[in-house]
Structure 1
């Protein structure tokens, strides 16, 4: 990381990502998806996130998601669209976000301060979104299209809309960077797991749909390449740990990813970017303390607050 500016953009982007993804393990969100006949968790989340793409072939979704098992997506997605339409799921996700944000922020004593923080984030990031070139960013472009037609009613819903577009924009750039660096999706997932700051190994494997054989093959490949070591956790499951070589590879990918978003962020000066650190931290602390990132899924939930 070659500058304080880049470090600050990464920090804000990570918190934006957490703000977006805070809905994924919410019972309130799952209940909204269940109204359409979907199982809370992986089913509902896959339908909701891919819905802006429309009723596309599973290969399009697995390519966009990148670190999900293509076989898993190919098996699940057609079944989902037999139960609910993409158009219904676009609205269902907005309804779910509205319910989740009301539950999270609705009756807090510090609601005025948090509303101000969300408003500052939304207004400050607006020029960044306006400067985004979505060419080559399929999921981000589709997501921006549906969010562009959404009339959010609260500061927190508006913040989620902005965070989601920004998250998918950097995410598509990150996928391109992984492809450039020659890192397959399952390897990228396992390297993240191996940092000890993201998914627990079994949760990552299950939610992304990899078989034991696929997971073991990738783990062996990365260990032989010197990118991870493998020990056992307290339950006897394999526990990958990233090596310095693995961290170097991840940093190479992040540098490439930084380049894919630099033009959009160039509309903000260094001081303005730095001004986003405090409000983003305040919002994420509330979300992290709410249990939005369960400890049985994430190794260090507190890291989601940046």
Structure 2
């Protein structure tokens, strides 16, 4: 035990990043689950981006396109405006939240199976993730704050998914703060990630995020002018900036893992990787999706 006269040892930033990568699929698999499209289509929402925007934004209420653009960050404002607020004329935020939890329950149950869900390890992971969320605070984290206002479901499957969602959105809000600190707009953040080869391909990034060829070219020109991109790749300065963004994101998302401590965080990482691996083995993601994350 650390004495009161000694500083608490810092948590290895690599452990923070590993914990995030292990837990993230427990949430994000749902965007590729057939149950997601089924539940949202039943409400009258179009599968794909309308359902995605409405699903993540619904805990904040019937917000407008500007709020969704701001909190989601790297989507074209015109694409968001094409979907929001129209989505709220088709289904209320309350209906969307309920459908989302229902889809999460169904997809996790299908991908993991009753035996895993009923196991001591699953209950342990759900409890540890909920405990980690006790350290999260809403200041400057609007998307997280909306989700944190939702009551805990009170059943292990959904408590685990809700905790993974809170951790994901809290980290995402911090990542946006790091991007703003780096003076990168939404499209510039997307471009600098895409050219690393670890994100979407350029055509996929444009298509899924709604940016035109002209908007993309303007973003590349601005980044080239700043000396961050050269000949289709990041310059040394660009690589350094992206590294600093990721490091700052880890710092801003460290609180839940600091609260658990290194040993317990390692346990969470081990358990979550096992659950996520089982999901992937049962077809949770299209080929190559996790390789890009």
What is the TM-score when the length of structure 1 is the normalising length? 0.84
Moved more, 124-133 or 54-63: 124-133
Does 1:150 find its partner at 2:142? no
**Residue 248 and residue 74 in structure 1: after superposition, are their counterparts in 2 closer, same or farther (change >3 A)?**
same
Shift of residue 53, structure 1, vs aligned partner: 0.8
Moved more, 118-127 or 60-69: 118-127
Name the residue aligned to 2:71: 64
CA distance in 2 between counterparts of 1:241 and 1:189 reads 13
- Where in structure 2 are the equivalents of 1:15-164 lying within 5 Å? 15-106=22-113, 111-112=115-116, 115-146=119-150, 148-151=151-154, 153=155, 155-164=156-165
Q: Is the 8 A contact 2:62 2:93 kept in 1?
A: yes
Shift of residue 114, structure 1, vs aligned partner: 8.6
What stretches of structure 1 of length at least 5 have no aligned partner?
A: 231-239
Shift of residue 283, structure 1, vs aligned partner: 1.5
Cα offsets for 1:65-95 (capped at 9, x unmatched): 1111122212210211111111110101011
CA distance in 1 between counterparts of 2:258 and 2:29 reads 27
Name the residue aligned to 2:179: 178
Name the residue aligned to 1:217: 218
* Backbone CA RMSD of aligned residues: 2.3
Q: Secondary structure at the match of 1:45?
A: helix
Q: Secondary structure at the match of 1:106?
A: helix
Shift of residue 174, structure 1, vs aligned partner: 1.0
Name the residue aligned to 2:6: none
What stretches of structure 2 of length at least 5 have no aligned partner?
A: 1-9
Cα offsets for 1:99-129 (capped at 9, x unmatched): 111221226xxx3489444333222233321
Moved more, 185-194 or 56-65: 185-194
Shift of residue 156, structure 1, vs aligned partner: 3.5
Question: In structure 1, which of residues 248, 262, 269 is the aligned counterpart of residue 261 of structure 2?
Answer: 269
Shift of residue 249, structure 1, vs aligned partner: 1.1
Runs of 4+ in 1 over 4 A off after TM superposition: 223-226, 240-244
Aligned residues: 284
